[in-house]
Amino acid sequence: MEIVREVRALQASADAARAAGRRIALVPTMGALHDGHIALVAEARRRADLVVVSIFVNPTQFGPGEDFAAYPRPFEADAARCREAGVDLLFAPAPEALYPPGFQTSVEGERVSKPLCGASRPGHFRGVATVVTKLWLAAKPHVSVFGEKDYQQLALLRRLARDLGFDVEVVGVPTLREPDGLALSSRNAFLGPETRAQALVLQRALRAADGAVAAGERDAAALLAGVRRELAKAPLAEVDYAELRDAESLEPAPARLESPTLLALAVRFPAAGGPRAVRLIDNTVLRPPGGREASR
């Protein structure tokens, strides 16, 4: 596995691969890799000849008071996991390689970045869209792979590729879960035993909504009421949001569901041994039987 730290070196490798007729896949990450990331690498390997993983803790997607300085950076362990997973090229730039002195140009989704996580983390998705734009320009991938757990991010990047005409296929990979159903996340390590057990309420709430839709429920208000009743069973849970959105545009869902609809959750739990809360997200796409399928 080759490790590259400069943008021009990555561009040169990408140019050589494309000239040789090789298909390139990019998996952007912020490191602290877990099995969910490795599942993205496996999907990239299925779809391409050259697999590139980026590890970059992106400062522009952290807001005031967020944990940029404390974000884990176990680079040697991450590099070892990439080697084991068959990554061909690891891109690990310093901040100044992507944000040169005087940097002042950003990319932003006008509507898709505003609700859900965007409402409580202003500027976050501007940072995501900007850094992914720069990574796509550097790695020149044919395909770029992301996890569906970060559904809003995935919707934003699909819109980014369409709107700006990037010749890249944006692929989503289903959320990988612990055996008990909790979505894999680097944040899970900050949960104590009690909060870890209560965090399973997210998956229970999603399953309850899926079951209600399968049984014929279409009323959005009734579905959300059921979700909130389930979440209330975890006394340590502080709900950031529980919302129904169009599965493609992320516009608010209609009062009666007739097409694939995203149910998105964000819940905070007390952190183990510290004052900072642990914010977990999860989602499912509700598909009313006989409803209109969204075009993706």
Q: Which residue has the tokens 């709430």?
A: 205
Among residues 34, 37, 124, 142, the one annotated as catalytic is 37
Asked if the model's pLDDT at residue 260 lies above 50, the reply is yes
Looking at residue 69, what is its pLDDT?
87
List, in sequence order, every residue forming a beta bridge with 246; answer none if it has no partner.
261
At residue 1, the 3 state secondary structure works out as coil
Active site residue 37: yes
Name the pLDDT band for 106 (thresholds 50, 70, 90). very high
HSE (CB half, 13 Å, CA atoms) of 121? 22
CB-CB contact of 220 with 286 (8 Å):
no
According to DSSP, residue 205 is labeled: H
Half-sphere exposure of 151 (CA within 13 A, CB side): 26
- The pair of structure tokens assigned to 85 is 């997973």
**With 50 as the cut, is the pLDDT of residue 107 above it?**
yes
More confident residue, 273 or 286: 286
Q: What integer pLDDT is reported at residue 295 of this predicted model?
A: 43
For residue 294, pLDDT over 50 is answered with no
Give the Cα-Cα-Cα angle 229, 269, 63 (nearest 5 degrees): 115
Eight-class DSSP state of 60: G
Residue closest to 254 by CA, chosen among 219, 210, 287:
219
Mean pLDDT of 228-240: 98
pLDDT at 228: 98
- Residue 77 has what pLDDT? 98
Please report the pLDDT score of residue 275 as a whole number.
59
Confidence of residue 291 (pLDDT cuts 50, 70, 90): low
Q: What is the pLDDT of residues 24-56, one digit of tens each?
A: 999 999 999 999 999 999 999 999 999 999 999
pTM above 0.85, yes or no: yes
Amino acid at the residue 196: R
Least confident of 159-163, 268-272, 273-277: 273-277
Q: Give the angle subtended at the CA of 28 by the CAs of 41 and 20, to the nearest 5°.
A: 70
Report whether 219 contacts 200 (CB < 8 A).
no
